[in-house]
Amino acid sequence: MSAEPINVKQELDVRGAKCPIPIIKARQEINRIPVGEVLRVIATDPGSVNDFKGWAQTAKNIELVRQEESTDSSGQRLFIHYLRRLA
Amino acid sequence: MSAALLQPEKATLNGTAEELRGYVQSLEARLQDLETQMRELRERVPESRVSIVVMSGDLDRVLAAFVIATGAAAMGFQVSMFFTFWGLSALRQNRKLRGKRWLEKAFTLLTPVGAENLALSKLNFAGLGKMLLRKQMRDRQVSSLSELMQLARDLGVRFVACQMSMDVMGITAEELLPGVETGGVATFLADAAKSQVTLFI
């Protein structure tokens, strides 16, 4: 995945956390960054892919800029979400 | 057909002052009527709100209710949870027997107190199944019901205990967690009518 780089303001590590914790933590974290900036969320929960899509569809104040999938050195699948705070 | 017949309002503009006054008055009345209708319509449009009735006192079902409630709150929904009958057990923090009638005492003793003491709807095996589920949840880093309840409160979820069920089961407000409101069917319906999502669990 080599799309253009996204300027990330803040990173949130929710590896290991299960539904609904990734969304809850991301919500708390995105309130701490300025409007217009991007939060990068690193999760291991495969359900988070659809969860972040659903959240972005419902909420008016966030935009799901991109979602990526990768694997860490131990072979663990990672799901990375880029969220922009809109308001 | 003349233009006056097709557009009677315009025709009156050429009339006397008396006719004009009448025209303005009828316009004002129509405007007021429209404003009232608009206001009524606006009240009927659902808000970003979720209302959940929790009737079950089963650990698995209450867990599902709180996963949805906390998730919804995080997504920006206003969330209201209404606890009725067996669902009240999740909100209890202690057991009080003093001043209760014998049937109320029996209910008090035979129903669980608090999130930690709820049983599974299936495979409970006198608590063994529940113990194993909780171990599995811990191992898999799934939040416990108590943690989700605390999160729900932190996220501003509204907790309403059904007063009628409390009366039937002899549960007093002092037995419930602090900050829990009490209400009835109208309290639920007032929130539910404004909700995009309503659930009965």
Range of the domain at B166: 49-200
* Closest chain A residue to B152, measured at CA: A24
Could you tell me which residues of chain B have a Cβ less than 8 Å from any Cβ in chain A?
48, 67, 70-71, 73-77, 140-143, 148, 151, 155
ipTM reported for the complex surpasses 0.90: no
Output the domain CATH number for residue A63.
3.30.110.40
Range of the domain at A12: 8-85
Query: A4-42 pLDDT, tens per residue?
Result: 888 999 999 999 998 899 999 999 999 999 999 999 999
Q: Do B141 and A16 touch (CB under 8 A)?
A: yes
Mean pLDDT of chain A: 91
Residues B53, B40 within the same domain: no
A80 in a domain, yes or no? Answer: yes
Residues B54, B34 within the same domain: no
Residues B184, B168 within the same domain: yes
A17 in a domain, yes or no? Answer: yes
Residues B142, B163 within the same domain: yes
* Closest chain A residue to B76, measured at CA: A59
B48, B141, B151 ranked by CB distance to A24: nearest = B151
- CB-CB contact of B115 with B90 (8 Å): yes
Residue A82: predicted pLDDT: 97
Please list the ranges in chain B whose pLDDT falls under 50. Answer: 1-4
Cis peptide before A20 (omega within 30 of 0): yes
A54 in a domain, yes or no? Answer: yes
Residue B11: predicted pLDDT: 52
Number of domains within chain A: 1
A59 in a domain, yes or no? Answer: yes
What is the C-alpha to C-alpha distance for residues A78 and A81, in angstroms, rounded to an integer? 10
Query: A51-79 pLDDT, tens per residue?
Result: 898 888 888 889 999 999 999 999 999 99
Residue B14: predicted pLDDT: 64
What is the C-alpha to C-alpha distance for residues B66 and B147, in angstroms, rounded to an integer? 10
Q: Do A19 and B155 touch (CB under 8 A)?
A: no
Residues B113, B29 within the same domain: no
Residue B51: predicted pLDDT: 96
Residue B50: predicted pLDDT: 96
Number of domains within chain B: 2
Question: Cα separations (Å) of B56 from B52, B62, B172, B182, B200?
Answer: 12, 7, 19, 18, 9
